[in-house]
Structures are given as C-alpha cells and as structure tokens.
Amino acid sequence: MLDLKYIRENTDTVRKMLTDRQTEADLDKLIDLDTRWRENVTNTQVLRARQNEVSQEIAQLKKEKQDAMETIAKMRDLSQDIKERTAKANKDKVDIDAILLTIPNIPEASTPFGTGEADNIEIKTWGDKPSFDFELKPHWEIAETLDIVDFQRGAKVAGSNFVVFKGLGARLERALIQFMLDLHTTQHGYTEISPPFLANRPAMTGTGQIPKLEADMYRCDRDEENPDTDLFLIPTAEVPVTNLFAGEILSADDLPIYYTAYTPCFRREAGAYGKDTRGLQRIHQFDKVEMVKFTTPETSYAEHETLLENAERVLQVLELPYRVVQHCTVELSFAAAKCYDIEVWAPAGEKFLEVSSCSNFEAFQARRANIRYRPEAGAKPEFIHTLNASGTALPRVVIALLETYQNPDGTVRVPAVLQPYMGGLKLIGFGCDS
RNA sequence: GGUGGGAUGGCUGAGUGGACGAAAGCGGCGGUCUUGAAAACCGUUGUGGCGCAAGUCACCGUGGGUUCGAAUCCUACUCCCACCGCCA
C-alpha cells in the first residue's frame, strides 16, 4: 500500500494514478476520515496526558496514606470521555486502513500511459520465429495424440480446466521444474525455497492478492470468527516467499536476497470463462518456478533488469523465441510500479503467450507485510523493495515446446538442455512412456 | 484429537495494580587504553503515531473487559513448546 502521509501530501498525484489505471477507490472518503482521525487523535492525546498526570498524583496521595477519593471521582468522567474518543479514533483508523488496502501502486515514471493491451510497449524480441514446411498441429492435438496430457480425466476428478499430465508429459513437467531451479540456483545466485502451498489471509494481504483478487482464489478452512486463519491455495509462490520476512527488520548486510521456488499455482480464473480455454493455456492448477528478490530502494531498478534477464535466460536456453513488453498504466497489476511481461512464441496458434511477469513493487508489498531493513547499524528501519518474476510458468512453455519442436509425424524433439533431465531422451514419440 | 506449559526489546531473561518503556546479562554502536587487536573500563542502544517544533501519546502475542490507573487482574482467540494418541 501507499504511505498515508504520501497520499495526504500528494492527493492529486494519487487521483491521477487512479484515473490512469481506470480504477476506483474512495479517495475523498479517505481524506475526510484522515482529517477527522488526526484531529481526534491530537485532542485525545491532550486528555491522556492530563489523565497520566493525575494518576501520578493519586499514586502519590495513596503513598502518603491520604484520601484520594475526591480526585478519583473527578477522573471518572475524563476516563470515560477518553475511552469514547479512542474508540471513535480506532474505528476511523480501521476504515482508513481498509481503504488504503484498495489503492493500487503508483506507476514508475517510465510506464507508458495506455488504455488497453495494445498500448503495452514492445521492449525487445529474441530469436527468429521458426518457419515450417508442413502444416502445424496445435499443442492440444499433439499432446492428445502422444498421450502425454489427458484433458478429459482432469475434468472428471476436479472440474473443467484441470488437466492430467501423463507419462512423458508428467516427466516433461518434472524436467522443466528441475531445469529451471538448477539454472537459477547454479547460474543466477538464487537460494531454493520450498514453501507451503497454502497461505493465510495476512500473507495474501501482504502481497496484495487480498482484498482485490480474493474471488480469484480457492479458499479452504474458513473460520468466520477468525478470518486471519483462513487458508487459501496459493495463486503464485510470490505469496509465501515474499511473506517469509513479514514483520521483520533485516540488516543491510542481508540484502539483496534472491529466492527461487517451485510451487503449483491455483487460480479460479473467475471472470475469465470462455477465454483461451482450449488446451493448456488457462488452467486452474499449473506449475511455476518463481524468483523473488528483496532489495534496498536504491538498487531495486537495477535488480529489476537482471531479474528480467534471469527469466529470459530460461527461454534462451530452451531456444524458444519470445518478446518482452512493458505494461502500460491500465495493464499494470495492482501492486506493481513497473512490470515487464515475457511472451513466448507459439507457432501453431501464431501468437505470443505470457509466461512471466517481471515486476518491481517498490515498497508497496513491504509496507503491507511490514518488511524493513536497517540501512546501517543504529539507523531507523526503512521499507525494503520487493520484486518477482516467473522463471517461468510451465504450461505455456510446454505449449511453445510442443508446437515449436513438433515433427511432421506428430513426434516432438526434446531441446538439448532438457535431455539430461529426460533420461537422455531426444524425442517424445509414440508408445514410450519413460 | 487429549493434557500441561509458555508468548516481554536484536537475543537470553526478571517483573508484588501506581517506582515500568520496562531489571540484569549478551550482542550492536561510540569512546578510553593499545604500535594494532583482544581484555578491561566508561557511555550509548526498541518501534510506531500525531505535531512546523517544543513535545506528547501508544505499543510487553491479538481482540475485548475490570479500574482513576494494567506488562501485571478477568475473558476470548492465535501461535509456540512438551508429553500422549493417531497418521504420510
């Protein structure tokens, strides 16, 4: 979230941001509440000071064995008054915080203004789109023919848009996970994390999924009395990994911290029904390797660029052409200040598919999750900056692999870098399931 | 699932309703001493809110309550530890 003080002093900037993002938030109410709250706090404080003072006097009287009944009686009204004012202030503060949680991050200066996907800016392209001298099959057809993905039975056990990877399909998933984790840990300096696949409400709020995207998540273990103990299936490893340091004060020597994690991701895709539902493009459960960085404010934008490089490297090594686009204002996700998408080329569908979102959240998540660091010993704690990028989401990489490396006979070549992870296998053919 | 114990500053750990934002120790920082370091000694050292500031207020797991006054009493909850049962 944004700093309340910042909003107070830069209300116009915040208002413009909301317009640019085409988002609604109750900014006027926030300002009103804030004004009232501060006035109330200031007044109550004076009364409290008086109360503390007299309490000392009472203690003194008692110590001297004098009668304090009269003084105590006088304090009763004051005490009640303070209680009522405090209750009102607390209520306003709760309302203020609730609104604060709905205000998105301010886009970083380089973010282009835009009103739709078309206004995203293509930053670069890598690799040449391959050409073929035979008719390409879409990935779902290849997968079904090779019997490596079962689209029907996934729906039977869980529901539509759940899939089952089978035989070499399952092996391919495992190989990709292993390959990506190895790449990031041995080449890019990340520490591997295997986090919980469920996260509670405060964690979901910390990274910004709640309140805005609550309906997009699977919730289990609901407890009306204790909402903080509600558990959600994670929509991304970003949630448990970023929240690892929630409420902590790190030392400057600890930073930057680079973590990478494989997790399945669960998304209800509420409101996305009927959109790209064929095949592996939009499924409710998918595998992903994520990278998360914790940095100082000074270095976060340099770290953002290397983070992007680390994610790009996955596709480069797999020799899959891609492009990088920068989000425009309206496409930028709630918590992000700046975001690049990496989109892999899917030749059969002749389109680019998003396989990684590479975001700098600046202090937005850190402020929500209260993650701070001490710039130097004895200095005041400051919020750190958090960043993350998929490195990468698997199903769409599988789409690109199947479509790019398909042969006319329906078999699929295994990219060189994955062969060691596939037991030396060079070709996904028919009738071999290991 | 059952029983018992616990939650206090960066860490360990005291704390009888008014002396407690909190003992003591460790650690950190600054200094004295030293060619340098160690040791020793001295000093200093939590977080946040409101306020231009002086200052002031809050915070002892979280939320309620009792009281003129709560780290301390009551209550609900959360988490942690130990043992028993069950289980991958």
Q: DSSP letter string over A106-146?
A: PPPTTPPP-SSGGGSEEEEEESPPP--SSPPPPHHHHHHHH
Of the residues A357, A362, A372, A390, which is catalytic?
A357
- Does nucleic acid strand B have an atom less than 7 angstroms from the CB of A76? yes
Q: What is the pLDDT of residue A71?
A: 84
Q: What is the pLDDT of residue A433?
A: 54
pTM, entire model: 0.92
Catalytic, A267? Answer yes
* CB of A234 closer than 8 Å to CB of A288: no
H or E stretch at A73? helix A69-100
Q: What is the pLDDT of residue A251?
A: 84
* CB of A109 closer than 8 Å to CB of A339: no
Please state, in angstroms and rounded to a whole number, the distance separating the CA atoms of residues A252 and A261: 23
Q: What is the pLDDT of residue A13?
A: 93
H or E stretch at A360? strand A351-360
- Does nucleic acid strand B have an atom less than 7 angstroms from the CB of A79? yes
Q: What is the pLDDT of residue A263?
A: 96
pLDDT by residue for chain A (434 residues), tens only, comes to 999 999 999 999 999 999 999 999 999 999 999 999 999 999 999 999 999 889 888 888 887 777 778 888 888 888 989 989 998 999 999 999 999 999 999 999 999 999 999 999 999 999 999 999 999 999 999 999 999 999 999 999 999 899 999 999 999 999 999 999 999 999 999 999 999 999 999 999 999 999 888 889 998 877 777 888 889 999 999 999 999 999 888 888 888 999 999 999 999 987 666 667 789 999 999 999 999 999 999 999 999 999 999 999 999 999 999 999 999 999 999 999 999 999 999 999 999 999 999 999 999 999 999 998 888 777 788 899 999 999 899 999 999 999 999 999 999 999 999 999 999 999 998 866 55
The structure tokens listed for A111 are 């973010």
Residues 52-71 of A with CB under 7 A from strand B: 52-55, 58-59, 62, 68
Q: Which residues, in sequence order, are CB contacts of A410 under 8 Å at separation 6+?
A: A137, A142, A145, A146, A430
Q: Which phi and psi angles does A123 have, rounded to 5°?
A: -85, -40
* CB of A125 closer than 8 Å to CB of A321: yes
User: Within a 13 Å sphere around the CA of A114, how many CA atoms are in the beta-carbon half?
Assistant: 17
Q: What is the pLDDT of residue A31?
A: 94
Q: Which phi and psi angles does A125 have, rounded to 5°?
A: -125, 155
How distant is C1' of B67 from CA of A61, in Å? 17
Q: Is A208 left (phi over 0), alpha (psi -120 to 50) or beta?
A: left
The residues with which A354 forms a beta bridge, in sequence order, are: A343
What is the identity of the amino acid at A375? Answer: P
Which strand B nucleotides have any atom less than 7 A from protein CB atoms? 10, 18-19, 28-29, 45, 47-51, 55-58, 64, 68-69, 77-79
Please state, in angstroms and rounded to a whole number, the distance separating the CA atoms of residues A220 and A229: 10
The residues with which A328 forms a beta bridge, in sequence order, are: none
* CB of A395 closer than 8 Å to CB of A299: no
A100 C-beta neighbours (distance < 10 Å), count? 18
Please state, in angstroms and rounded to a whole number, the distance separating the CA atoms of residues A250 and A259: 15
Nearest to A366 by CA among A307, A291, A289, A300: A300
